[in-house]
Amino acid sequence: MPSDVLTKSDSMPRSALMKSKNRNWTVTKKRIYCVSMTHEELEAGTVLNLDFTKLRKVASCEAEVLPVIAQDVQTGEVLIVGYANQLALDTARETGMATFWSTSRNELWIKGKTSGDYLAIKEIRVNCEQNSILYQVTPAGQGACHTRNKDGVARSGCYYRRLTDDGSLEFVDPAQV
């Protein structure tokens, strides 16, 4: 079974979901599976393609990590969800900058080190079970997300699309397209 799944509502025409060129689709009664999707379609498209295998991938990297949420301390907006190990947490505390452990590259990632879009830590919180961390941050740069809108400006955070009733995605703010 393909891992790319889109839930279909009965009122939504299948053709509306299958407009992407050069895509292989498998259609069942309630689900449409996209067999392949480009990086651009994934990050800027309107077709839902959730990666339910992410935690399995994180576990297979064999790093001892826990989830970290970076939240704008002024607006409350969730900017990024990542992972941290002890080194990332220690580095964040020492530098005052949001720091994560990249589970895909298996390396320390200080947010903004290459882009200039740093997240200055104002406070670090730990959840009740001590298995996740919240960085309350002040963004310093254009945005927190690695993706950019059509004008080339970094998006403020990674949660710039919402799930609609018909199972597709739409941009929360038209300026973020």
Instruction: Give the pLDDT confidence score for residue 63 in this predicted structure.
Output: 86
Burial of 74 (0-12, 13-18, 19+ CB in 10 A): exposed
The domains found in the chain, sorted by start residue, are: 5-52+149-176 (no CATH), 55-140 (3.10.20.810)
Residue 18 pLDDT: 47
pTM: 0.78
Would you place residue 16 in the very low, low, confident or very high pLDDT band (cuts 50, 70, 90)?
very low
Question: Counting Cβ atoms within 10 Å, is residue 34 exposed (0-12), middle (13-18) or buried (19+)?
Answer: buried
- Position 34 scores a pLDDT of 58
pLDDT band at 9 (very low <50, low <70, confident <90, very high): very low
Split at pLDDT 50, 70, 90, the class of 12 is: very low
- Note the pLDDT of residue 17: 47
Quick one: CA torsion of 14, 15, 20, 23, rounded to 10 degrees?
60
Residues listed for the chain: 177
pLDDT category at 33 given cuts 50, 70, 90 is low
- For residue range 105-164, list pLDDT tens digits in order: 999 999 999 999 999 999 999 999 999 999 999 999 999 999 999 999 999 999 999 999
Tell me, what's the pLDDT at 23? 53
Q: Which helix (H) or strand (E) holds 43?
A: helix 39-44
Give the amino acid at 101.
W
Mean pLDDT of all residues belonging to the chain: 85
Higher pLDDT, 31 or 79: 79
